[in-house]
C-alpha cells in the first residue's frame, strides 16, 4: 500500500506529512497531537526533544518554532523514524535530527533540553510511562518544560506532579488534556507555591 500524504496548517505553518498504515494516526493528525502542538510554547532558540515522535508532526512544528534552536525526534519504530526523516525534508526543516532508539536510553547521557514534548504511548503500561517522566525530569535543563497529552490515563498526571512537584493544564478538549510541568529546584518550588522562602532551619 502506498504512503499517504496529507496537508495541515499548524501554528501558522502550511505543512505536509507522509504517513503509512501501521504507524500511529496514519492519514490524518490525531486530536491529542493537534492539541499538544497548539499548546506547546517553544522559544526561537530552544533545544527540544520530541519523545516517541511517530511520523514527526510535533517535531516538525517544534523545529519551525525553534528556528535558531535544535530539535531531536526519537522513536523505537523504524518505520516511524523513516517517515519522520522524510517529513523533515518535505517541510524544509534543517535544524532537526531523527534518532531510532528506546527513549532516553539511546540519547547522549549528558544531553539536556529546554522543552520535552510527547504524545506518550499509553498502551505501553505504567512502568514505561513512569520511566519516561523520570527520564524527562533528568534530561531537562533548569526551568525546562515538559508537555504531555493524555486522555484516559489521568494517573500519569499524578506521577508528573510527584516527580516535578507541579503541573498545570495547558489545554483541554474532547477528552484530551495537555499538561505542562516545569523543572524547578525543590526549594524554589516551595517559594513558588507559598510565595515566600521559609528555609529549613
Give one DSSP letter per residue of 176-200, joined into a string.
Answer: EEEEEEE---HHHHHHHHHSS----
> How many angstroms separate the CA atoms of 122 and 133, rounded?
13
Other beta carbons less than 10 A from residue 86's beta carbon: 18
DSSP state of 40: -
Element (H, E) at 14: strand 13-19
Residue 76 lies in a domain: yes
Q: Which residues of the chain have pLDDT under 70?
A: 1, 27, 123-124, 152-154, 186-201
Residue 199 lies in a domain: no
pLDDT tens, 140-163? 999 999 999 988 656 788 899 999
Which residues form the domain of 36? 4-194
pLDDT at site 175: 86
Write the CATH number for 76.
3.40.50.150
pLDDT at site 186: 62
Residue 111 lies in a domain: yes
Residue 200 lies in a domain: no
Amino acid at each position: 500500500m502506498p504512503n499517504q500524504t496529507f496537508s495541515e496548517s499548524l501554528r501558522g505553518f502550511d505543512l505536509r506529512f507522509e504517513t503509512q498504515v501501521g504507524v500511529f494516526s496514519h492519514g490524518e493528525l490525531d486530536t491529542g497531537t493537534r492539541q499538544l502542538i497548539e499548546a506547546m510554547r517553544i522559544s526561537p532558540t530552544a533545544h527540544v526533544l520530541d519523545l516517541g515522535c511517530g511520523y514527526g508532526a510535533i517535531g516538525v512544528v517544534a523545529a519551525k518554532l525553534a528556528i535558531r534552536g535544535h530539535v531531536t525526534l526519537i522513536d523505537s519504530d523504524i518505520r516511524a523514524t523513516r517517515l519522520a526523516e522524510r517529513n523533515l525534508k518535505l517541510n524544509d526543516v534543517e535544524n532537526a535530527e531523527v534518532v531510532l532508539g528506546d527513549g532516553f536510553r539511546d540519547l547522549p547521557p549528558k544531553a539536556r533540553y529546554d522543552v520535552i514534548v510527547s504524545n506518550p504511548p499509553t498502551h505501553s503500561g505504567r512502568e514505561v510511562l513512569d520511566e519516561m517522566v523520570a527520564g524527562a525530569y533528568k534530561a531537562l535543563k533548569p526551568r525546562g518544560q515538559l508537555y504531555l497529552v493524555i486522555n484516559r490515563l489521568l494517573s500519569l498526571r499524578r506521577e508528573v506532579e510527584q516527580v516535578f512537584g507541579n503541573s498545570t493544564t495547558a489545554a483541554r478538549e474532547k477528552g484530551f488534556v495537555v499538561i505542562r510541568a516545569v523543572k524547578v529546584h525543590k526549594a524554589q518550588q516551595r517559594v513558588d507555591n507559598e510565595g515566600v522562602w521559609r528555609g529549613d532551619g
